[in-house]
Amino acid sequence: MPDPATTQYFGLPGYVVLWILTLVAFYLFGIKVAYYVRTLGKARPEKRWDRIGERVGLVLTHVLGQRRLFNEPGIGIAHFLIFWAFVFYATSFFWNLVKGLVPILPIPYADDVGWMAFALEAFGVLALVGIVVAAVRRYILTPPRLERTYDATLILGLIALLLVTFLVGAAAKTRGAPGVYLWMWWAHMVTVLGFLAYLPYSKHMHLLAAPFGVFFSSLRPGAPPPASEGASRFEEFTWRELFSGLACAECGRCDRACPAFNSGFALSPKELVHKVKELVRAPGAGGKFLGEVVRPEEVWACTTCLSCMERCPVLNEHIPLVLEMRRHLVSQGEVETPLQQAMMNLNRYGNSFGQSPRARAKWTADLPFKIKDARKEPVEYLWVVGDYASYDPRVQTVTKATARVFQQAGLDFGILYEGEQNSGNDVRRTGEEGLFDVLRGKNLQAVAKARFEHVVTTDPHTYHALKNEYANGDGGWTGRNVLHSSELLERLLAEGKLSAHRRLDGVVTFHDPCYLGRYNGVYSPPRLVLNALGTKLREMPRNRRTAYCCGAGGGRIWMEDPPGVKERPAESRVREAAGLHGVNTLVVACPKDLVMFQDALKTTGLEGSLAVKDLIELVEEAAAPSERSDSHARA
Amino acid sequence: MNILVLLRMIPDVVEELEISNDGKTLDREFLRLIPNETDDHALEEALLLKERHGGKVTVVAPDAPELDDVLFACLAKGADRAVKISGVEPVMGGRAAARLMAQVLTTAPGLLPADLILTGVQSTEDLDGLMAPILSHLLQLPYVDNVTQVTADGPGKTVTAVKEFPSAVRAEFDVQLPAVLGIQAAEKPPRYVPVAKVRAVMKSQHLESAAAPAGVEAGQLEILQMAKPEPAEHAEMLAGDPAQVAGKICEILAARGVL
Amino acid sequence: MSGSIWVLAEHWRGQLSESTYELLALGREIADGLGVELQAVLLGHGAADLAKGLGKANSVLSVDHSSLCEPVPEACAAALVQLIKERRPRSVLVPLTNISMGVGTLVSTAVKVPAANFCRDVRVVDGGLQATCVLYGGKIEATVTMGAECSILGIWPGARAAENGRSDVVPPVEPVTVSLPEAPRVRFKRYIEPEAGDVDITQQDTLVAVGRGMQGQANLALAEELAEVLGGAVCGSRPVIDQGWLPLSRQVGKSGVSVKPKLYLAAGISGAPEHVEGMKNAALIIAVNTDPRAPIFNVAHYGILADALEVLPALTEAVRGKKG
């Protein structure tokens, strides 16, 4: 076959033509990429160079392994094939480009190397199949939140073209058709160079940016952004927050997972990231970013449930964007009245209910035993009760059950009585960082002289804050083992300190609380407890990582639902539970879930057919003390 | 427009109030003091006026525990000055508070003249009279109470005060300046000020202090005793768990023909 | 006549207010207890006709002045001060309503006599007057005495039943003149009528009223649900309205409307006098509150010592069950 680089075209040698085309393409590519780098350089700094090993791991899993793409298997496989074809084709392209630009190099073209040619042909064919799947999905079986844009069509077309030109060229080579081969070689190179030049201007910028996005992603997803007074315009965001806009492939997985979006609230996480992309493309254009481009109601709609970030294939970070903008709104005092009231109550009374701190442990009055005051005597377990468990009359029943179960298990535990304050987890998610600091400070001061070994709480929100955000700076409550009650119960059952004398044989389903599951990866302990009690667990379609938020998180519980809500998250969730065959109990492990789902049962009219119970209530039912004394007698 | 906002710290009724051994005063040991709610509204109205017409807002308050934090919050919200009347014993009632305020306003430098003096229409402990009308008499200024809106669009010698009447009716009054207005509610709920902003103000601004005049006269009322009200003098109490109580109510409603 | 008990006869928009009758009933008791006369003081302009309704008093002092056309506290106080200085009554009862709120304090300061504010009751004890005053939103009551000289008493609405203050007797009227400033510092301009609300709560047979004890706007759904099954509407106390949980048209009490439904269910309302003013005449009052000392239990017919958040859903359920 003739060497395309040394063949003469209109009196010019091929390599000269290639040089001209390459310079043009790289120039176009380079100025845009340089623009992005320069622009992001003006954003706030954020340290994302630590723990390189883990970051490389992320790249292996999420870029090379394409892990999250497989959450939607059909398109996941298609994308996987296209991606790997891309890897080989990119390699081949640069290889051939070098050889073409400098024909005297003593190397063959990539497709002249046997194994490479095989991989290119094999992935080329598979990727073409992938393209067909992608096209069918985009144009015929379009899922919600996927758009049929001109840009997407162009990119799909270019990929198809570069594959076809290569495959036809390869065929021409084996069949001995040098004219066709030369045409195809050039068509392929021009397509790829065009693709390269167009890339940074298109939505397929993600192809370039995503690997970097993954490498620089947060190692603690959902963690609040570094200290700031919030962000309302370009320079106030960190570069990584803005980078999400470039890495986004607009696949819409976040929207499909988002409880706020699916309830008809103002927020679309995909739109939000898209707006960030527009901001990076042209900072300052399109009016005030927060206020005009992004409306405050979008920012307030987020429940910080982490579904979007959990689902995002390129590990984009939506929640830090929301939190930055909330911080800004709070700093301007732009806080709706009910939320403002909650903040004032937290500041003044240490609880969002606006009740006396002295009433915090009022629920203990009905107990047949006295709970130790952990401020006055040493305990093994410090139980941080939390606001809802302490003050909401509907949750107090569960709180008392918790105390009885702990007592029955012979646990050495105590509470802080009026010394405890709200942990600040949710108020931090509303953007009121200063108030979180105050609450954390007061709680740490309350336990300064207390002696305890472990911390336990029934509230996943409290759990998350204590476990991850209670050190000075970042990290958990120094030197303490923080447990969620489900983890402790699992341990107590395993150690035989609690036992299910009366096995429960009902069929139940379990709702994973966001701050227990997605935020902290605690999925098994509550399930092991249910198993130990003898119940049969039937999972909801959306479970574990894909569990659907109740709608109360991120301070939403203090805010009003906007008008025109389609279906509240909690309503969607109880319908999902009620739809399971044979299930009559929705088991929860979060005080807010109990309140939210009980309300949702009423508004959906499902009160007769489904009951909402806390895990601890089931434990108490199964391990009732009278039975226990019997078994002791037997033993 | 130069506006003074008079603020008082009063017992928070979220906490259980206890009577001291003499049976005539509140046990102050366990009291939590908070800004009088309507005073907070007075500050908000003052800040709104400042935003619309410019000028200065000065908050004046008798010293009390936790007052510093409250005054810094006022500054963070947008007040220009905060003056603490130091060296005062806790006083109860509008009369003593008004006399104290009147003396400080007339003696401490840089407070009067003011165009408007705004304060809450009442506090829950104004046993011997409301502070605003007494102050208006002492300073010989006009007075309007139950005000929910102040507008100053005229030539500057008057403001229009909107006062609440019964049945959700309101009325506009022309009030000559300077004047004392008892604010019932600001046009919008008092603004939120984030903790970080208050902390920043604590570093960048300071509270002023004015000495309390000696010998503020006592009230003319003699308190014979203070007590918690007897529970349920009138109502027939229904006991039981929520479901039982609900059943009983249903019976009563049915008997009365409401159901 | 010197040493008599006076009642400020409050009137507005051509009518004597209910508080006036309540004060007349209370004033009658005091005057009888002291063995002195009860006089009503009617301040107004072209309002002398209203004196007919003041028959519970022995006589009426009627002042007619153009500055008293609409109730401006300063003008009312100035007129009252002149009368008091001339005639030295034993005590003057002034209602603590939005209309007259500051008048008592202004008068007592000008005449330099003691004032007792927030009175829910006044009694004659050993020839002297003792008042029970409601402090700290009803959490504390103070018993005070004023000495034998003239005193001004600010009385909360509801101190006595208005019925006991009405009389068919037409009292003798003594016209009195006062001099008031020609150019008042506070001048009435106009009334602003309320915007028509979504629901006219004065026309409802059943009202579920919510207060701070509902803890949050989100919980209002519980009240709305109950109101719906009962076929009524939701209203609220001032704090709830000020928080923006409900529109102004739903406010019951001092600045809101007065209602007389067949059923008034007060959920999480402590019963501050300002609120009680607007609902005390309901035919049946049921109150739910966690505080056994909440003053609402003093006007309620039935009380439940519990959290409204628990009782409301249970009641909704029970009513639904009853209705089938």
CB atoms C284 and B143 under 8 Å:
no
Q: What is the mean pLDDT of each run of 10 residues along chain A (635 residues)?
A: 85 91 95 94 92 94 92 89 91 92 90 89 91 87 79 86 91 89 92 91 86 94 92 94 93 94 94 94 83 94 97 96 97 90 94 92 94 95 96 92 96 96 97 96 90 95 94 63 96 92 90 97 97 95 96 92 85 96 95 93 87 96 63 39
pLDDT at A633: 38
Quick one: tokens of A101?
A: 């630009």
Q: Residue A626: exposed, middle, or buried by beta-carbon count in 10 A (0-12, 13-18, 19+)?
A: exposed
Average pLDDT over residues C112-117: 92
Q: Would the CB atoms of B221 and C115 count as touching at under 8 Å?
A: yes
Reduced 3-state DSSP string for A296-365: HHHHHHCCCCCHHHHHCCCCCCHHHHHHHHHHHHHHCCCCCHHHHHHHHHHHHHCCCCCCCHHHCCHHHH
Q: What residue in A sits closest to C309 (Cα-Cα)?
A: A393
- The Cα of B14 is separated from the nearest Cα of chain A by a number of Å equal to 6
CA–CA distance, C111 with B133 (Å, rounded to integer): 13
**pLDDT tens digit sequence for B37-73:** 999 999 999 999 999 999 999 999 999 989 999 999 9
Q: What count of CB pairs under 8 Å joins B to C?
A: 278
- For C203-250, how does the pLDDT look when each residue is reduced to its tens digit (9 = 90+)? 889 999 999 888 777 788 899 999 999 999 999 998 888 877 888 889
- CB spacing of A337 vs C313 below 8 angstroms: no
Instruction: Identify the pLDDT of residue B154.
Output: 67
Chains touching chain A through at least 3 C-beta pairs below 8 angstroms are B, C
In angstroms, rounded to a whole number, what is the distance separating the alpha carbons of residues B228 and C234? 30
Domain architecture of chain A: domains with CATH: 8-213 (1.20.950.20), 231-331 (1.10.1060.10), 339-622 (no CATH)
The residue of chain C with its CA nearest to that of A602 is C313
pLDDT at B90 over 50: yes
pLDDT confidence of residue A398: 96
DSSP-based three-state secondary structure for B88? coil
Nearest CB among C212, C217, C221 relative to A338 is that of: C217
Assess contact for A216 and A48: CB atoms under 8 A.
yes
Give tens-digit pLDDT for A35-59: 999 999 999 999 998 999 999 999 9
SS3 C197: coil
Put simply, whether C165 touches B (Cβ < 8 Å) is no
Distance between CA atoms of residues A55 and B150, nearest Å: 60
Torsions phi, psi for A90 (to 5 deg):
-65, -45
Alpha-carbon distance A390 to nearest alpha carbon in chain B (angstroms):
16
Q: Which residue of C has its CA nearest to A595?
A: C219
Query: Which amino acid, residue A377?
Result: E
- Band of pLDDT at residue C256, cut at 50, 70 and 90: confident
Averaged pLDDT score across all residues of chain B: 90
Q: Which two tokens stand for residue C214?
A: 């509902």
Closest in B12, B189, B197 to A331, CB measured: B197
Contacts of C219 (CB under 8 A, 6+ apart): C309
Residues of A in contact with C217 (CB under 8 A): 338, 560
Distance CA A88, CA A113 (A): 13
Residue of A nearest to B189 (CA): A337
Beta-carbon separation of B233 and C136 below 8 A: no
| Cis peptide leading into residue B113 (ω within 30°) | yes
Q: Report the pLDDT value the prediction gives residue C25, as an integer from 0 to 100.
A: 97
**What's residue A629's pLDDT?**
42
Q: Does C323 touch chain B (CB under 8 A)?
A: yes
Residues of C with CB under 8 A from a CB of A: 212, 215-218, 221, 225, 243-245, 307, 309-310, 313
Q: Chain-wide mean pLDDT for chain A?
A: 91
pLDDT at position A476 is 57
Q: What are phi and psi of A80, to 5 degrees?
A: -60, -45
Going by pLDDT thresholds of 50, 70 and 90, the confidence category of residue C100 is very high
The pLDDT of residue B91 is 72
Residue with tokens 């955000």: A469
A569-628 residues touching B, CB cutoff 8 A: none
C31's tokens:
């005057």
Question: From residue C100, how far is each of B97, B194, B206 by CA, in Å?
Answer: 21, 39, 40
H or E element: which one contains B180?
A: strand B179-183
What is the reported pLDDT for A632?
A: 41
Contact C142 B165 (CB under 8 A): no
Chain B: touching chains (3 or more CB pairs < 8 Å)? A, C
For the beta carbon of residue A156, count every other beta carbon within 10 angstroms.
18
The CATH 3.40.50.620 portion of chain C extends over 5-176
The C-alpha atoms of residue C167 and residue A27 are separated, in whole angstroms, by 100
Q: What distance in Å separates the CA atoms of residue C14 and residue B44, rounded to the nearest whole number? A: 35
Using a CB-CB cut-off of 8 Å, the residues of chain A touching B196 are: 229, 331, 433-434
Q: Is the peptide bond before B178 cis (omega within 30 degrees of 0)?
A: yes
Q: Render pLDDT for A422-451 as a digit per residue (tens, 0 to 9).
A: 999 999 999 999 999 999 999 999 988 889
A284 dihedral zone (left: phi>0; alpha: psi -120 to 50; beta): left
Nearest to B228 among C139, C185, C283 (CB): C139
The verdict on C20 touching B (C-beta cutoff 8 Å) is no
ipTM of the prediction? 0.90
CA distance C115 to A528: 70
Query: Where, residue-wise, is CATH 3.40.50.1220 in chain C?
Result: 201-323
User: Would you call B94 and C105 a contact, using CB atoms and an 8 Å cutoff?
Assistant: yes
**Which of A348, A432, A434 has its CB closest to that of B34?**
A348
Q: How far is C80 from chain A (nearest CA, A)?
A: 43
Q: Is the CB of A344 inside 8 Å of chain B's CB atoms?
A: yes
8 A C-beta contact, residue C300 and residue C285: yes
Which residues from A are below 8 Å from B191, CB to CB?
Answer: 333
CATH architecture assigned to C5-176: 3-Layer(aba) Sandwich (3.40)
Task: State which residue of chain A sits closest to C306, comparing Cα positions.
Answer: A393
Residue C60 and residue C82: Cα distance in Å, rounded?
Answer: 16
The answer to whether C212 contacts A599, with C-beta atoms less than 8 Å apart, is no
Tokens linked to A66: 């394409």
Q: Which residues of C touch B126 (CB under 8 A)?
A: 117-118
Domain C201-323 is of which CATH architecture?
Answer: 3-Layer(aba) Sandwich (3.40)
